Every structure is written in structure tokens, then in C-alpha cells.
Chains A and B, each alone.
Chain A
């Protein structure tokens, strides 16, 4: 494993089009996270999976956004009917589950997919 892989690295799309991003986590990590980051801001949480179960979704995740992790391995994030406000870096991260004291393990992030909606 060389880390978390995201594809594509860059995506330019016209407003109203659908886009799909893929994330391949570290294979032994059972948690997978999606975050969105705009320029000069910290990552904003979107959703996360433990294995194939989607355990948490942010209110930021409107009905135009959907994420899947069908076999508990790779994940996809789809944005339908893109808007200019969707332009951002979409970051995927993975981690092991919780320690016995409920401490989170550190996250390993991919390099992100930069989306530009024109």
C-alpha cells in the first residue's frame, strides 16, 4: 500500500453536470472519510463509512451529494447537478477504527480531487 489514492486529481466541469470521484483507502483501514476544503479554510466534514456502513453525514451533504462504499474497500462521491459553489478540494482519508479508550487513530489523507465548476 502506498497510501490513500484519489482519482481524478483535477476535474473541470460545467454547471449542471454530474461528477464522480473515487477514493482507494489503505487496505487495512476500515474507516473512510470525505471532507471538502475551500481556499484558506480547514477541511469540512461531509461523510464517513465504517466498512460499508455510512455512519455519519454532515448537513453540508445536500441531496445532490451521494457517497458509497459498496464492498467496504474503495468509495465514490457523486455530485449531481453541480453548482459553482461546489468548487473545492475534495479530500478522502482513511483510518483504523477506534482504540479501546475511544481515541481516534490518526487519519491518512489522499492528495485530493480539485473540482472547478464553470
Chain B
């Protein structure tokens, strides 16, 4: 079963626009991570946010976390065609003993 649900399932934008993806989860977490996957490849770690953090930035990425709503968002600013990929959120449990649980992903298409 998958803990996280991303919204929207698919998103198509023009180059230069911002892309926002949302993730909701069900159980209490220690941290939430975002990954990118290009078609047919493995996943690449993008950014991690701890449960006591509300916002984190890395380059063109901005992640927010609202533990009261059990939700997170990933914003990609000034998108590029190379950002075309699937994006997944993954949650880590409170004790850290369990492996990360991944959501079902948002497929982002950036049109040049």
C-alpha cells in the first residue's frame, strides 16, 4: 500500500511557468522527501524536510510541510523542458526503523 497520494496525477505546463505538486499522507512522520524519476530510470533524491520544519529551499525547488494537515507541496519555479519527469513524495516513520513509503506520483510535462 502507498502512504502518500500526489495531486495532480498529471500536470502539463509551458517552459518558464511554475509547477506545484501536492502530497498527502496518512500517518505521523519524521521526515518527508521528494524524488524525481525520468522515464524508465531510477529515482533521484531532490530534497528532504523534517517534521519540525515548515519550508525548505534548494535551487529552483521549494518544499512546504504542514503536519497538521498531513500534506506537503513541491514548487518548481521557472520550469525547463528538462524538468519533465515523474515526481514522488516519500515519508519516513517516527522511529526510522521502517523504509520510506512512496506516493503514486505526479507526471510533469514541461512544453518547450
Interface residues of A (CB under 8 A from B): 4, 33, 35, 40-45, 48, 55-56, 91, 93, 98, 101-104, 106-112, 114
Contact = CB atoms under 8 A, between A and B. Distances in A.
Interface residues of B, number: 29
A31 B83 CA distance: 29
B25 interface: no
Contacts of B42: 4, 91, 93, 109-112
Contacts of A43: 43, 88, 102
A44 B100 CA distance: 10
B105 A111 contact: no
Given A104-B92, A108-B45, A55 B105 contact: no
B85 interface: no
Interface in B74-95: 88, 90, 92, 94-95
Given A56-B99, A101-B50, A44 B30 contact: no
A93 B88 CA distance: 15
A104 B41 CA distance: 22
Contacts of B30: 101-104
Contact of B96 (A33, A42, A102, A107): A102
A91 B50 CA distance: 25
B99 A109 contact: no
Judged by DSSP, the binding face of A is loop
B101 interface: yes
Judged by DSSP, the binding face of B is loop
Nearest to B41: A111
A-B pairs with lowest CB-CB distance, top 10: A109-B42, A106-B45, A102-B96, A104-B92, A42-B102, A98-B96, A109-B43, A43-B102, A103-B31, A48-B99
Contacts of A35: 102
B103 to A, nearest CB: 5
Given A4-B42, A104-B30, A111-B41, A42 B104 contact: yes
Contact of A104 (B2, B31, B103, B105): B31
Interface in B20-57: 30-31, 33, 35, 40-45, 48, 50
